[in-house]
Structure 1
Amino acid sequence: MIAPLTSFDQFFELQPHGLAGYFALSILFGFCFLYFWIARNQEFFGKRFFMITNLALIWWLFAAIMELWSVVPFCKAAWGTLAFPAIGLVPVSWFLFVYRYARGETGPMERWQKALLIVVPSFISLLCFTNPWHWLFYSRASAPVSDVRGAALHYDHGPFFALSSLLLYVFILGGFVILFRAAARAHGSYRLHFLQIFILTIVPIVANIAYVFSGWTIAGIDPTPFMFSVILLLYSLLILSNQTFQIASVARDMVFETLPNAVLVVGRDGRVLEHNATATELFSLRDSSNIPASEIPGLEKLLETLMQAYQPGAVEDVLIGTREFEVQTSHIPRPFGSDDRFLGWLFVFFDITERKIATKTLKKELSVNDEKLRDMRMEHHRIKNEALSDPLTGLLNRRALSDEFDEMVASCSLEKGPIMVTVIDIDHFKSINDRFGHAAGDRALIAVSGALRRAFRREDRLFRIGGEEFVVLSPNLDIKTLEDRIEELREIIFAAGENLGLDGLELRFSAGIAERPLDRTALSDLIDMADKRLYAAKSAGRNRTIGPDGHNNIRH
């Protein structure tokens, strides 16, 4: 029977227990470092439960070391008892890690998972901690194996210990089933990874079975935590080197396999080293690789050309069956060295059949649309011209007057020049209609519009604003030059009237001029001012022009 403490100071009586004690301590410190390293490493499936397993194992190792180093048997038994929360937690958290890893799950814990992590270790701890009241976990026969100071304890396990072991073995067995099923369903390198996990997990389980059923120990204590620590170290190395648990690695492999583009990896010897599922279906390849690229139907000449005359980023189009593909080629560089040698080629096949068809269809539709657009533009131009033009003379009408004036003002503001507004009215036009008819009057209006085009400049704007009344906008023109042009216009109009062949017709006009900004700035004010001078000219006897200076420019 284990004697109780006679002094509280006995609890701190420790001895390293030789090389085994220091070795166990080094494992503990190494495992603490490993825990923090993995915690800062990138995510992998089931990482949360993997870290819980590590924490539980750290506590188990610490309790085992304290049991190993303690001198007083009661203290050894106390540390052995304190290890059981971790002993109950390791198999459960390990089972949950395997469960989530095999299912590819991350994220927060589910309720049933939290319940297992709390209930199972608590139940086992309760059975162990209450042993002094029932002695069913280990009996009073538990005692040191010898009288040597600090000797290991021999635990005489009871039915509660067997019940706890059986419960934890259920989780261990569940983990094995998950790993076995995952390995059976996986393919390629993933099957190997699951098999590695499966095989490595056997080691601490065998050590635990040997401890429970045959009493095998390391320096007198349970070897399970030390075996488990070695296995978790190996798993951590897999995380670092093979990236077994890293989501990014799994995602890259998944992208390669599920990529809708066919991918071929060809070695320097011209043999296919790897291909994805799309390439397998497209080229009717065998599941196994390492076949000559020359055996791929339709690609013999293409691959030979690309491999012999390779250009970085080379792109070729190839017809495979009824589908057209764009082939992008890349070198696979050596992972070391700086010379021009490389490991092989990467060929990616992009199905451009639909794109080619769509391009042809789009070109055809664009051509039709361009033709329609040209027609629409012409129609728009025609409608605009009709809306802004006088249908009889072809001159601009009153609707266009305001916009043309605004554009002219903006242009003249930059050049700081004047704008002349001339209002012209045919003299005695009503008598022309009365004597010769409206058709003759229309001919007279057409003749006047032609004379206006001949007398004024290209930059001047000509308007028929109603009946026999016309307006001329002249930018950057002085009054003297404008009056000379108006007098030239009189001669042209008079001659045009004679050419109409109407006996007794004399085609003459009166005009009024307003100058911007001398007279006014607004268009309506300028038109009013020019109108007043026009009617002043008519009142003064017609066939004359009155400008801003009030001078009568008369021509008989």
Structure 2
Amino acid sequence: MIYTPYAWLPLASAILLASIAVYAGYYRRLAACRPFRALMWLSSLFSLIFALNLVVAPLGLRVLLLHLIYIPGAFIAPAILIMVVEHTGHAAWITRRRLGALLIVPVVTVILTLTPPLYPLFRHSPQMIVDGSLSNVVFSRGPWYWIYYGYGTVLSICALAILTVSLLTHAQRRQEMLLLILGIIVPFLADILTTLRITPLPGYAWTPLLLACTGVIYGWALLRGQIFTVVPIARGAVMDHIEDLVIVLSTQGQIADFNSAAQVVCGIPPQAIGALVDVLPPAWADLLRCHDREPMGKSEVTVGLGEERHIYDLVVSTINDRRGRPVGHLFILHDVTERKRAEDALREANQSLQAQLAEIQQLQILLREQATHDVLTGLFNRRYMQEILDQSLAHAARERSPLSVMMIDIDHFKKLNDAYGHKAGDMMLQAMGALLRGQTRQMDTACRYGGEEFVVIMSTATLDMAMGRADELRQAFEEMRVEYDSHELQGTISAGVATFPKHGGDSDTLLRAADQALYMAKATGRNRVCAADTALGAASKLLTAP
């Protein structure tokens, strides 16, 4: 055992709270007396364990006591809520099922305090802090500690909210209201400061002493026979803990109330209660005046410019008295600036992504175009022509319809290149490509076969039809003039035509027959069209000649 004068305060608090709990037994028939006595006993046990922790020397024992302290401590917030509910005439709310749900977090907390392997979830890594005659143990806090603390805070706020509603619906004497406010707000604030470790003595909990103050206040009210007669305290505990801006205007446009967040953001002077909104900065004054004329509804408002610009979701509602008469307007502004900025950034990113996607799609189209088309002439390339020809032949075989292939070659193309250069040759190839695109049927497929050779696949075309189309192309090309570097270029073409199934049943045979016909057209003077029949006949004569 060690002696420290700091143990006397929590010890005296434990004795005082126990005495009040015993004395309250004489008033057990009064509303809320049972939860009040439970609150006093829990607070007394909490204070006693804390006092014992200060006077024992072994660190292990102190750690054990500081875990055991949460056995009563875990049930203090539920006791406060139950006491308020019963006192305000809502005892029917406390059913067995709801009571069981209310005690889940406290029970889990107790289990964690009694199970060393689970300490890291609640409080762990104890450290001794010595300050003169005071030595305290502080812990690192695990995730469940913040669940436990948040749960207790929520219950306290719920209790305060219930008292607020009761205050608005029942006339209360000011003295009793102040006593009840002090009875809850003092330990509530002390617990916040202790949790945040904002105390003059690190690790020393002032909550037991301030719980004794609560016991004295409520005990005095109990002696007067008026314990917990609905004294709302939500003004300090609820409004000032709301991050949203809360402003209340009377029907005359006077500032009736505001919370701390509104005071800081809107620049409301401390003495503004009862003043007109003109005391506010012009932007806020104009905003409140504008929406005070239409007091019901939701809207989005903007205040400030540039970097000081903020966007708020504004909710305006009417406050009525007990007779339903409007007495003021409640303004709640929720800052959505960061959300809007995030939405704008997301929108810009989405637009950028859409632009990139469109660019990718264009590139894909270009790649597909390049994969199937000849870049210079814009016609289909040889690889794609082979695929189309195989498909067209298969379709012609199924439908038992003709199909003709025209193979075209520009006459004396090498001489043209040698005389005028490759650029002139390219222009002649482009002119041929434009001619084929413009003068072939939609069902036909015009391709660049290679070099100055072109192939046209003509579905359903007989040999006579294909010969006629080939001669029309020959004449059109002969009449064409291409301007190049002050020169007027012109040329002729030769063409060979073969027809399925007469000249071949597959693509290779058909192309070979058309190529032979083209060779015959060139061999017999160029600038002409020959059919595969003519080429085959001429070849036969050459083979049978003596």
User: Given the two structures, how large is their TM-score scaled by the length of structure 1?
Assistant: 0.45
Larger Cα Rg: Structure 1 or Structure 2? 1
